[in-house]
Amino acid sequence: MIYGAMKFSIGGSLKLAFRPWVEGLENIPAHGPAILASNHLSFSDSFFLPAVLDRKVTFIAKAEYFTAPGVKGKLTAAFFKGVGQLPVDRSGGRGAGEAAIRAGIQVIESGGLFGIYPEGTRSPDGRLYRGKPGGLARVALATGAPVIPVAMIDTEKIQPPGQVMPKLMRPGIRIGEPLDFSRYQGMDGDRFILRSVTDEVMYEIMKLSGQEYVDIYATAAKRQIAEAAKNKGTDRSGA
């Protein structure tokens, strides 16, 4: 009930204000489980995608969003629960990853739609980065659920870093045909299979999004960008 109310209010407002265009809605099953694997350009991705779908989509969110103190913290927790987000503590290293995988499997086993960003974090520059094999592929192979590639288009342009007010423009969503990896079901312990499945999904996302592909992890790219900015600042101060 809460999700429906939040979808009506937030989703309706997003569609009215931004008028997102969408292609491939017919690829979302009316019933039954599926994994929606999307590129990740903006914080708003987790709101625009559910806004255009009739079914509930469950994403993983940082546990901090659910545990902050005070009235603001309670309101934030209620908001994220209302929009279908599940809390996972990401500070625990490998244990955090296992918790996210278990959460995804539970969503699939309950017949739901599980949304995941294989890159593991937002793209720092709009390009598509290497997918991490630990989450998407393991959930897919543990459950046999189809993987539906999704491309978010231009969502990063709505509110770039440093911009206070969002820009009213039309983002897009392309939804690809389901990918069947059931032939590998139960092989989620094989790292070569996990890598192959992840790469195939990323290739389909790239075709849908038209993004330039970079064969490193987005987290590594962010470190490189931060280090370059730091060195540039050092060079200026020493000039």
Does the pLDDT at position 105 exceed 90?
A: yes
Question: At residue 150, does pLDDT exceed 80?
Answer: yes
Is 27:177 a contact under the CB 8 Å cutoff? yes
Averaged pLDDT, 104-118? 96
- Indicate the pTM of the whole model: 0.88
Whether residue 43 is predicted with pLDDT greater than 70 in this model: the reply is yes
**52, 20 contact by CB (below 8 A):** yes
Among 18, 55, 32, smallest CA distance to 152 is for 18
DSSP symbols for 42-108: -TTHHHHHHHT-SS-EEEEEETHHHH--HHHHHHHHHHHHHTTEEEE-GGGTHHHHHHHHHHHHHHH
84: its two tokens: 């279908």
> Phi-psi bin for 14: left (phi > 0), alpha (psi -120 to 50), beta?
alpha
Residue 95 half-sphere exposure toward CB, CA atoms < 13 A: 3
Ordered by start, the domain boundaries in the chain are 2-238
**Residue 13 per-residue DSSP state:** H
Mean pLDDT (the chain) is: 89
Asked if the model's pLDDT at residue 153 lies above 80, the reply is yes
Residue 121 vs residues 4, 9, 41, 118, 132: alpha-carbon distances, Å = 27, 27, 9, 8, 10
From CA 108, how far away is CA 13, in angstroms rounded? 29
pLDDT greater at residue 139 or residue 64: 139
DSSP code at position 212: P
Please write the tens of the pLDDT for every residue from 172-213: 999 999 999 999 998 989 999 999 999 999 999 999 999 999
Distances (CA, A) of 150 to 22, 25, 217: 10, 10, 19
Task: Quickly state the pLDDT bin for 112 (edges 50, 70, 90).
Answer: very high
CA atoms within 13 A on the CB side of 43: 6
Looking at residue 155, its pLDDT comes to 96
35, 146 Cβ separation under 8 angstroms: yes
pLDDT value for 81: 73
- Statement: residue 1 has pLDDT above 60: no
Confidence of residue 99 (pLDDT cuts 50, 70, 90): confident
Q: How far apart are CA 82 and CA 87, in angstroms?
A: 12
157-174 confidence digits (pLDDT tens):
998 877 878 899 999 999
Is the confidence at residue 236, as pLDDT, over 90?
A: no
Place of tokens 């060195």: 231
The label of the residue with tokens 């593991």 reads 120
Which tens digits make up the pLDDT trace of 47-96? 899 999 999 999 987 777 777 788 777 776 777 777 778 777 665 556 56
- Residue 89, judged by CB atoms within 10 A of its CB (0-12, 13-18, 19+), counts as middle
What CATH number matches the domain at 2-238, 3.10.20.30, 3.30.360.10, 3.40.1130.10, 3.30.70.100? 3.40.1130.10
